[in-house]
Homo-oligomer: A and B are copies of this chain.
Amino acid sequence: MNRNHQWLYAKQPAGKIGPDTFEWHEAAMPSLQAGEVLVKTRMLSLDPANRAWMMGKTYRDALEPGQVMSGFTIGEVVESQAAGLAPGDIVEGDWGWQEYAALPARRLFKRTIKAPLELLIGPLSVTGLTAYFGLLEIGQPKPGDTVLVSAAAGAVGTMVGQIAKLAGCRVVGTAGGQDKCDWLVRELGFDAAIDYKAGGVRRALAVACPKGIDVYFDNTGGPVLDAALSLMNLRGRIACCGNVSQYDVEKPAPGPMTVPGLVVTKRLRMEGFIVMDFYDRRDEAEARLAQWVAEEKIKAIVDVIDGLKNAPQALIGLFEGTNRGKRAVRV
């Protein structure tokens, strides 16, 4: 165990990401400085954002070829020269696709909730919090509202839909393939789910949302955003969480034709957010999510793949829609 295996970000993809986007690398074990801890990666979060970071500067710097591939991580402290952290502690961070990292304590968040790691990497962490704050704070759903969520079978979407049901809303999702749609209705309690790959999304959504849409939680942009805009009710809210339909493509689609026209006439609010903006209230939200999961009011859907070696294929598959719920790699 004196080597540190890593996936490097090898080169910017021209269109879709592929195996050659990444490069397997064996590095020396990192050495500890004062104030640092050595963490052993236990879980690696796979997120559409990983792809977005390849496109240029976003809310963080763009990925640069040659660097360790970035990603949210959960690990265990194996050695500590930092106050407040001891071997065995479970910590969260963003040290990326590697087995070990030496990090200053300020870059780590100590997890104190007792839960399986696959919950701590998703439903009770970034993904769950994204759904929680995005829906409740940006979307402001009221009982009886119709809430639409795109990428509904994904990590964030599965949480959004279930939280919206708890908030007393009619919940409609879009997902790729009839199987996923059936599963959303049968297993997660969605009122309806629309297969966006089947075509005619706007018409299908109009049928599924007979009273229009009050809140659209947008994970995808693209055609579902276009359709949602046309069906939004007066003073509807669009929580802009992601644009995954445009991340893994050669040429992005044109923007939504009805922006800003319909935004004006329907007095819509489109608002973007990043989960980190709400981290001052993280404890409160995590406690509620953990309680809902413990009481089985929410099903935490996780899709864990074993082995760091499989991380590239797992991310590629995310854009092919092979996952249900939160996809993570157990290292």
- A interface residues, Cβ below 8 angstroms from B: 52, 58-59, 218, 221, 225, 238, 240-243, 246, 252, 254-274, 277
Contact = CB atoms under 8 A, between A and B. Distances in A.
5 contacts: A59-B265, A242-B264, A254-B255, A260-B272, A269-B269
Nearest to A266: B272
Contacts of A58: 265
A264 B274 CA distance: 7
B255 A263 contact: no
When all copies of this chain in the complex are counted, the total is 2
Contacts of A272: 260, 262-269
Contacts of A263: 240, 270-272
Given A255-B256, A270-B269, A264 B241 contact: yes
A260 B257 CA distance: 12
Nearest to A260: B240
A105 B323 CA distance: 62
A2 B320 CA distance: 73
Nearest to A229: B255
Q: Which 8 A-B pairs have the closest CB atoms?
A: A255-B255, A254-B254, A263-B272, A264-B272, A58-B265, A255-B256, A240-B260, A270-B270
Nearest to A255: B255
